[in-house]
Amino acid sequence: MPAQDADRTEPRKTMDVQLIVVLFLVLAAEFVNGWTDAPNAIATVVSTRVVSPRIAVILAVLLNIVGALAGTSVAYTIGKGIVNSSAINLGTIAAAQVAIVVWSSIAARFGIPTSESHALVAGLAGAGLAVAGPDVLVWSGWQKVIIGLFYSSLLGFAGAWVIGKAIQFFFGKGPPSASRRAFNRLQLFSAAFVAFNHGMNDGQKFIGVFALALSLGGILPVFRIPLWVILLCSVTMGIGTSVGGWRIIRMLGQKMVHIESWQGFGAEFAASSTILAASLSGIPLSTTHTITTSLMGVTAARRLSIVRWRHSREIAIAWLVTFPVCGAIAFVCSVLFQRLIGK
């Protein structure tokens, strides 16, 4: 091989190795997303004993995959709307994924349901800032992130509170056994709705990052979302869900609140409706936020003192520190990766 051709081949091989590593890290983050975040979709239906944990996990896995296949609006927001893709490289993508895996794994160890959405956008921002400074941030995409915070926090709580009050008003005087049977059936459908919408919003986020990495690595000439990327990422998330997450289920369904099937239905319906509205608008919101605040809202509709606020504060603190912690980890990793690869 002529020396000139060898000089061209070496950078290509280096790029290929970097791309493989980055894609592996994205799938690792997607796996963690299924492991630590997707259990939120089945926490209530398990805690109310409507279905067994095994059946609930199967339900979550299948419907998360179907939801991830249902659209790409959120994937495009994450892939092109958070940081300017022309100003970042594979090293910044890798740094963001490392931040997600590290932070989410630590939180899962203590059964704290973190937000992979916040971890992802914070990681991308921190890694991008290390490379190109504040100009790398895309304000239109961050507006959607801020709107997502409003959706998940206020709409989730308020919607569940209204639904909880309505259920008490219309069904509170009926025979308890008949109401329980009816809401046991309804909760199965509402839990399925949550799992589907989790895949439609949260599952798509890492699909967008995976496609961005392919574009940066030269595999895709332009940023787009191939079907095989959707399938690979959604199945990876499903496998992560099947691995477990029972500590998170216990935190949401048993420690933070004690719920009955009618409350589980109300929380799930409010949360899934909020997530669906955000997904159709391409707004990346935290499904963890939405489901947790909905649980608090439907429980508060019965009586505020029932909510175990100490555990709620623990979760809220974890949410607040996710942005700075993941941003900082990604920033440091991005600096190290740039020095390592010489860019």
Is residue 279 within 8 A of residue 201, CB to CB? The reply is yes
| DSSP assignment letter at 334 | H
Closest-CA residue to 235 (of 26, 20, 31, 21): 31
Is residue 119 within 8 A of residue 103, CB to CB? The reply is yes
Q: Which amino acid is at 62?
A: L
Is residue 144 within 8 A of residue 282, CB to CB? The reply is yes
Distance of CA 125 to the CA centre of its chain: 17
Average the pLDDT over each of 19-28, 42-51, 89-98 and give the range with the smallest value. 42-51
As a whole-number percent, the residues of the chain with pLDDT over 70 amount to 85
SS3 143: helix
DSSP β-bridge partners for residue 137: 83
Looking at residue 182, its pLDDT comes to 87
Looking at residue 15, its pLDDT comes to 65
Q: How far apart are CA 116 and CA 163, in angstroms?
A: 27
Whether the predicted pLDDT of 9 surpasses 70: no
Mean pLDDT over residues 137-146, rounded?
90
Of 6 and 17, which is predicted with more confidence? 17
Residue-averaged pLDDT of the chain: 82
Mean pLDDT over residues 267-281, rounded?
91
Handedness of CA 61, 66, 67, 73 (dihedral sign): positive
- What confidence tens digit (pLDDT) does each residue in 43-72 have? 777 777 777 777 777 777 788 788 888 878
B/e letters for 111-125, b = 16+ CB within 10 Å, e = fewer, are bbbbbbbbbbbbbbb
Rg (CA), the chain: 21
Closest-CA residue to 168 (of 289, 312, 306, 311): 306
Whether the predicted pLDDT of 341 surpasses 70: no
3-state secondary structure 186-237: HHHHHHHHHHHHHHHHHHHHHHHHHHHHHHHCCCCCCCCCCHHHHHHHHHHH
Query: Residue ranges per domain, the chain?
Result: 17-341
Looking at residue 93, its pLDDT comes to 92
Mean pLDDT over residues 267-296, rounded?
88
Looking at residue 122, its pLDDT comes to 93
Tokens 């869900």, located at residue: 241
Helices (H), 172-203: 176-198
The count of other CB atoms within 10 Å of the CB of residue 135 is 10
Taking the whole predicted model, whether its pTM rises above 0.85 is answered as: no
